[in-house]
Structure 1
Amino acid sequence: MFGIVKVNIAMNISKIKLDKQDRQSPAWLQLCEYIKIVAEERREEFAPREFLGADLFAQIYTLPETIGTLTRVKRVRLYGSNLKRIPPEIGEMSALEYFDPYTSYDLCWFPYEITYCKNLRDSRISTRALYGNYKTRKPFPFLRDNPVRYFSEKVRCSYCRRELEYHTVNQVWISLNIGTDVVPLLANLCSEECERQLPTAPPGYIPYAHKGGVDLKQPGRNQVPYNTL
């Protein structure tokens, strides 16, 4: 019986959403143009839905790597998006203070690089959709069988920023405070030393970096994190 239950749990663990963005579509090209405008005009808000309109915005499943040029943006508004992932380049948005992807229910995790946004103090995230959230303890996908690949051919270590080939990357999950929420982050690491340098998760969450998977033991479902009591 235990074996059957374990198989059922494994089948219910979400697969990581692939990057299937059509990068030649009108929606994508207009989004790239919008990012260029925001960067050139040094705007403090990034709200692509307002620029693209609801229909085109619904066709966006990831953001361009050029969001790293938005170094003056303080507020990111992605309410109601169909986004499935955010690229690591968000960590280059050094002025970011407010991050709002609320009701973007396919965003189950974020890149570790968002921790580089040192001014980020406020967020609005649909936490029930997140892996490891304290209300449902949504299972983390097993990274050994289900690695994340970005659009670029290479990736940088999330901690030391060393450039890596994908076959050398060690990917792990870690839950950390981002703005006013605790979110699961994906870290791309080059070594065990960089893994040891990762912060400890807040109380009430798995305290260490891990690979996810069906055997991973999370704190009890509906357990309120100690730091919110």
Structure 2
Amino acid sequence: MSEEDQPRLFSNRWADAVGPGGDEPARDRCHCLDRRGEHSGKQVGFHPDRQDTSAPGWLHLLQLIDEAAADGREVFKPLVELSPGERRQIVTLPSAIAELTAVRHLVLYGSNLVRVPPEIGAMTSLEEFSPYTSYRLHWLPYEITRCAGLRESTVSTRALYGNVKYRPPFPLLRRADEWALAAVEPHRWGAEAIRSCSVCDGPLEDGRLRQVWISLVVATDVLPLLVNACSAECVAALPAPAEGYVTTPHRGGPDIGRPARY
């Protein structure tokens, strides 16, 4: 066999990002988005999952975050330390990720995440974000744009709202007058708590929340970002969306995923 006929071998760059196996599933299945592109009139919504903060996986993750913050590590791959059952218990990340100011690469390969908290914006050293094959993660918080050094991302973009391949719709966002600080539900607002403005970081009051979607280039991917704004002025201060996507911030709904010029 000539050298040209030799089969090519490709290295698995995620070999060290996969946690231990077992009999339990490590994540739930998701059927939110139609990958055939047949989205006309289809409503989608936020995942309703609430984080069980008494679950062993959550408590283990808190411990790992404490250890990473204490030793100042630059690469954080918490899921490799969790059993499949523990990984399945994690549907969001703790707000304590704000303490990981030395982390340059956050690896969340194959997670069961349905959302990422706005505290990711406090990870000021973050340069690479890798939630690859996290198929239930359809959007990110606008606060991720505060990670000024973020240059690389590996995201399963076909699982994202409004992605360029299938153009699935976005969840329809609610009006400001429906919002109350003490009654935040994940299936209605995409979070279990919303405390501050994504744009100016100011406090939020009852009836003042203005939620919009915007698609922006973040590192190497176009991501659908959820903005929790305190005012129309903060919405107006948002940057221009990525070329080829919805041209203005919007409230979502079944007809929004596909720009008029597409």
Q: TM-score range by the shorter chain?
A: 0.7 to 0.9
For residues 35-77 of structure 1, what are the alpha-carbon distances to aligned partners after superposition, in whole Å with 9 as ceiling and x for unaligned? Answer: 0110011111111112223331122110001101100000010
Residue 227 of structure 1 is matched in structure 2 by: none
Q: 1:202 Cα shift?
A: 1.5
The correspondence for 1:66, drawn from 79, 89, 96, is: 96
Q: In structure 1, what is the Cα distance between the partners aligned to 2:95 and 2:103?
A: 15
Residue 156 of structure 1 is matched in structure 2 by: 196
Residue 122 of structure 2 is matched in structure 1 by: 92
Q: In structure 2, what is the Cα distance between the partners aligned to 1:112 and 1:13?
A: 22
> Which structure has more strand as a fraction of its residues?
1
1:34 aligns with 2:64: yes
State the one-letter code of the partner of 2:71.
E
Q: In structure 1, what is the Cα distance between the partners aligned to 2:152 and 2:66?
A: 25
After superposition, the Cα gap between the structure-2 partners of 1:216 and 1:151, relative to the gap in structure 1 and judged at 3 Å, is closer
Greater mean deviation of Cα atoms: 157-166 or 190-199: 157-166
Residue 170 of structure 2 is matched in structure 1 by: 140
Residue 116 of structure 1 is matched in structure 2 by: 146
Whether the 8 Å contact between 2:167 and 2:257 is mirrored in structure 1 is: no
1:96-107 mapped onto 2 (5 Å cutoff): 96-107=126-137
For residues 195-219 of structure 1, what are the alpha-carbon distances to aligned partners after superposition, in whole Å with 9 as ceiling and x for unaligned? Answer: 1100111110012100001243623
Aligned pair count reads: 213
Q: In structure 2, what is the Cα distance between the partners aligned to 1:209 and 1:13?
A: 19
Q: What secondary structure, in the 3-state scheme, does the structure 2 residue paired with 1:156 have?
A: coil
1:181-196 mapped onto 2 (5 Å cutoff): 181-196=221-236
> Which structure has more helix as a fraction of its residues?
1
Q: What secondary structure, in the 3-state scheme, does the structure 2 residue paired with 1:138 have?
A: coil
Gaps of 5+ in 2: 1-38, 176-186
After superposition, the Cα gap between the structure-2 partners of 1:88 and 1:97, relative to the gap in structure 1 and judged at 3 Å, is same
After superposition, the Cα gap between the structure-2 partners of 1:201 and 1:33, relative to the gap in structure 1 and judged at 3 Å, is same
After superposition, the Cα gap between the structure-2 partners of 1:217 and 1:23, relative to the gap in structure 1 and judged at 3 Å, is closer
Q: 1:166 Cα shift?
A: 5.1
Q: What secondary structure, in the 3-state scheme, does the structure 1 residue paired with 2:207 have?
A: helix
Whether the 8 Å contact between 2:161 and 2:224 is mirrored in structure 1 is: yes
Q: 1:13 Cα shift?
A: 2.4
Q: In structure 2, what is the Cα distance between the partners aligned to 1:113 and 1:217?
A: 22
Whether the 8 Å contact between 1:48 and 1:57 is mirrored in structure 2 is: no
